[in-house]
């Protein structure tokens, strides 16, 4: 089952399916993702971020989360991707 983040009541944008891919092993713990998108990221005691509700891909070792988001939530996810200084976050639209 795909997660669906409910948009605010005023949102009229269409939903898009996205996959967030996170290379936690190479995270340096800057925390910028958790600052710009706290609904998706939480800092853990080891100093690295966790992608909330994600599952580990055993083939790649990366954490992944597939969900449907509106334009506002997509922009927030993209902001977290852009804020990462070591580019360990990828947000990919699924067609």
Alpha helices by DSSP H, 19-70: 32-36
Indicate whether 32 belongs to any domain. Answer: yes
Question: Which domain does 54 fall in, by range?
Answer: 3-8+23-93
Indicate whether 14 belongs to any domain. Answer: no
pLDDT in tens, 62-90: 999 999 999 999 999 999 999 999 999 99
Indicate whether 49 belongs to any domain. Answer: yes
Beta-bridge partner residues of 18: 67, 93
Q: Could you tell me the pTM of the whole model? A: 0.84
Domain count along the chain: 1
> Any idea what DSSP says for residue 47?
S
What CATH number does the domain containing 43 carry? Answer: 3.30.70.20
Percent of the chain with pLDDT over 90: 84
Q: Give the integer Cα–Cα distance in Å for 86 and 39.
A: 21
Q: Give the integer Cα–Cα distance in Å for 92 and 19.
A: 5
Indicate whether 54 belongs to any domain. Answer: yes
């Amino acid at each position: 089952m795909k997660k669906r983040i409910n948009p605010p009541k005023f949102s009229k944008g269409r939903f898009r399916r996205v996959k967030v891919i996170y290379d936690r092993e190479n995270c340096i713990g800057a925390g910028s993702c958790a600052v710009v998108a706290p609904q998706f990221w939480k800092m853990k005691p080891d100093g690295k971020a966790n992608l909330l509700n994600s599952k580990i891909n055993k083939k790649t070792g990366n954490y992944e989360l597939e969900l449907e988001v509106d334009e506002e939530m997509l922009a927030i996810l993209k902001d977290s991707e852009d804020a990462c200084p070591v580019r360990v976050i990828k947000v990919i639209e699924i067609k």
